[in-house]
Every structure is written in C-alpha cells, then in structure tokens.
Amino acid sequence: MADAKQTATLSFDGKTLELPMLSPTAGPDVIDIRKLYAQGGVFTFDPGFTSTASCQSTITFIDGDKGELLYRGYPIDQLAEKSHFLEVCYLLLYGELPTAEEQEDFESRITNHTMVHEQMHNFFRGFRRDAHPMATMVGVVGAMSAFYHDSTDINDPYQREVASIRLIAKMPTIAAMAYKYSIGQPFVYPRNDLDYASNFLRMCFSVPAEDYEVNPILSRAMDRIFTLHADHEQNASTSTVRLAGSSGANPFACIAAGIACLWGPAHGGANEAALNMLREIGSVDRIPEYIKRAKDKNDPFRLMGFGHRVYKNFDPRARVMKQSADEVLDLLGVHDNPTLQVAKELEKIALNDDYFIEKKLYPNVDFYSGIILDAIGFPTSMFTPIFALSRTVGWIAQWKEMIGDPTQKIGRPRQLYVGKTMRDYVDVEKR
C-alpha cells in the first residue's frame, strides 16, 4: 500500500477527522476514506465512481488529460509499434518484458492450450443458430468452469496460473467458434504453427472447401488491435471482473461477467455502434446533420466513437488505430472507402466544433477499429467479441492482482437511501 505522507481534514457536524492521503507513483493523490464510516458515521456518494479509486494497482496507468496510456510503465504507442500481443500479455501478467527464453516458454504454453474440450462443441450447438456471437461467448466462457474443474480453486496459485493460460489461449478459439456457428459454417480447429493473430484469422475465415491464406499485414493489424485493447485500468468490465472475483468466484465465471458488461454500447459495444453510425451517415455532405443532432440536448443521439470517461484529450489508441486503418486499406487497394472518408471528415469537423472542444470530446479507440475489422472481413457482430478476446488478458491480470492483494475485501458498496422509511403493512382490501 502507498505510504500516507499527509492528511486531509474533514469537518462536519462539529467533528473533525484527519484522513490519510496516499501518494501514487503517478496520477492524483488519493484520500483514504476506509475508516470514514467507523470514525465519522457518514458515507461518500459517487455514482459512476468518477472520483473513487476502487483498488490499488501496478498494471496500467492512464493520464486522461495528456492522452497517455502505459502498460506496466511502457507507452502504448511503443508497444503497438515494437512489441506483439503475446509479449504484451506476458508484460501485463508478470510485470516485466520477458527474456527470449521466457517468451518462448510462454508462447508455447499458450499455443498448446488453444483447443477447447471436444464436448464443448455440443454446448455451442445448444444455442439458436443465429445467436449473436457475444451471447454465445458469455454462455460458453461461463461454462468453462464446468469443463475445467482442475483450475477453479482460486486459493491455489498453480490453478490460477493454469486458468489464466487456458483463458488467453482458448478465447480466440471460442470467439471464432461463436462466429462460425452464427453463420452456419463448421468449426475450424486451431493450428499450432501459426501465431496468435494469424491463427484467429484462419479459424474465422477458413472453410473445409478452401483454406485461408493469412496476409502478414492483416495479421499484424489484428495483433495491434489485440494489443491496443489489452487493458485499460479500472473500466466498467474490469471493475465487474474484480467485483465478481472479490466474492471468491472462479476465474471463468468472473471473465464471463466481464464479457457481459463489455457488451453494452457505452463500453465495448461502441465499436459496432460507431461503424453502423458511419455507414448510416453514408456521405460527407450529411455530416452537419449528425453533428447538429449530437449537440441537441433533446436528441439522445451521440457521436459513437467520441468521448471517454477518462481521456479528455486524444485517445492514444485512436492515433495508432487511424494509422493501422490507412495501412490496411492501402494493402487492400481500397482508396475510396466512403466510410473512411466520412470518419476522417467527421473527425476533422468535430475537432473544430466548439461543442466538442468545450466538452473535450475526442475520437476514442472505437472510432477507427471498426473500419479495420470491416476491411479484414468481419461483420459488425464480431467487433465486441474481438474486444472481449483482447481484453481477457487485462481482466486476468487485474483479477490475479486482486487475489494476491492482502488488503482485498469483498466489494460491497453502500448507498444513499431515498426510499420510504419504515411503515406498516396494509391488507389488500384496505389499499
């Protein structure tokens, strides 16, 4: 736990409390209110946790004003350019970049766990044939605890490690199977001679009648998407995983809870919504109409892919994503993609509009990712499953950190009750 170097004084109702202030290695100081109720008899009120640190963590740091994102201290743009997803997984899980030997060992452990239990195929077949892949993933990942009993004891470090490797290794297989099932094609088994991203692309796009040649530029773009989404400190789905895990639930159940939370359009579902919106706008001349709607207080419409709870500057992931979108479309020889044109123009107009400037609304990671995924060949229904598979390592790293934290307690928020006070039951004939 960070050291308390100074205190904050809180006075109310004739009482004065000295609250310890904790200094982080980066970011704002934190007022420690853990003893506030015991000493002062009051709660704090912070729906949406806008001013509340729910835990201490060493994994990811975001400076929303500067537009900075660090995994274990390393800037995301350096990792996106120089590293690759499995190395980033190692970094997030174990805290340091691996040596060549550690990397080889880690990658071989992941590669050797990519197949799912054969009986899980039957589980998939229980879903309606056109089920959304996210619906299938929530169910199947939760069901992993029924298949892998030998890695559900959270008090055994070895079992925690095995569960982590299994989840990272099997998630691409599960996401690809959910996709194949939704389009009525046979499941494709993983291949150990392919890297993580290429293997995923092949499991999604190969069919028994024709193999899929993985283009290295597309697999690099895919790998980058995984890296850019790998972790993002205490966001809604990660906090969901931590909260579920705080009761001692098994890791598969916790990650399924994270997937469920990610599905919402204000979180992971935004990439699907952003591409749908760009398509709906359709042409550059219709942009002003949509900007007007986004600014209208009486219209619930929002520019999807814009704004972020933490970033009040450019989302650093959006910069890399934009560059990747250019590379992928260039490779595919798409020079007049109307969706990309709308995206670029919309970005330009919004960044110069007073409403967006005042509210510090910048493009987020989801603004460009959909264009890349669409160009690779994914339908919008696969965008959030791909986010879920990328974020799995972050969820696991955060879950493991929580389990190993001696200050960890079951998450149990309190409330500001504004309902009726105690009253007597009224018999039905008197109501």
Instruction: Catalog residues that contact ligand ACO under the rule CB under 6 A.
Output: 266-268, 270, 294, 302-309, 359, 361, 364-366
Helix (H) or strand (E) holding 381, with range, is none
Nearer CB in complex with ligand ACO: 98/385: 385
Which residues, other chains included, contact 429 with Cβ-Cβ below 8 Å and sequence gap of 6+? none
Task: Tell me the three state secondary structure of residue 411.
Answer: coil
Tell me the angle at which helices 383-403 and 157-182 cross, rounded to the nearest 10 degrees.
170
- Give the number of C-alpha atoms closer than 13 A to the C-alpha of residue 36, restricted to the C-beta side: 17
Q: Which residue in 308, 315, 424, 427 is the catalytic one?
A: 308
Pairing of strands 15-22, 30-31: antiparallel
Amino acid code (one letter) for 103: Q
Nearer CB in complex with ligand ACO: 87/272: 272
Are 331 and 391 in contact, with CB atoms under 8 Å apart?
A: no
Nearer CB in complex with ligand ACO: 196/383: 383
Is the sign of the CA dihedral 287, 290, 294, 296 positive or negative?
Answer: positive
CA dihedral 98, 104, 109, 115 (to 10 degrees): 120
CA pair distance 109, 145, nearest whole angstrom: 20
Task: Tell me the three state secondary structure of residue 12.
Answer: strand
Nearer CB in complex with ligand ACO: 181/306: 306
Could you give the C-alpha distances from 105 to 95, 98, 156, 396, in angstroms and in order? 16, 10, 21, 19
Are 138 and 260 in contact, with CB atoms under 8 Å apart?
A: yes
| Short-list 373, 179, 197, 196, CA closest to 188 | 179
Tell me the angle at which helices 157-182 and 196-205 cross, rounded to the nearest 10 degrees.
30
Nearer CB in complex with ligand ACO: 148/311: 311
| Short-list 363, 227, 242, CA closest to 306 | 363
Helix, strand, coil percentages (3-state) for the chain, rounded to 5, are: 55, 10, 40
CA pair distance 76, 71, nearest whole angstrom: 7
Which residues, other chains included, contact 27 with Cβ-Cβ below 8 Å and sequence gap of 6+? 61, 63
For residue 326, indicate whether it is catalytic.
no
For residue 366, indicate whether it is catalytic.
yes
User: Residue 234 phi/psi, 5° resolution?
Assistant: -90, 50
Nearer CB in complex with ligand ACO: 251/268: 268
| Shortest Å distance, C-beta 311 to ligand ACO | 8
Task: Tell me the three state secondary structure of residue 194.
Answer: coil
Tell me the angle at which helices 133-147 and 383-403 cross, rounded to the nearest 10 degrees.
40
Q: In the bound complex, which residue of the shown chain has the CB atom lying closest to ligand ACO?
A: 307
| Shortest Å distance, C-beta 316 to ligand ACO | 12
Would you please indicate which residues are annotated as catalytic (active-site) residues?
Answer: 308, 366
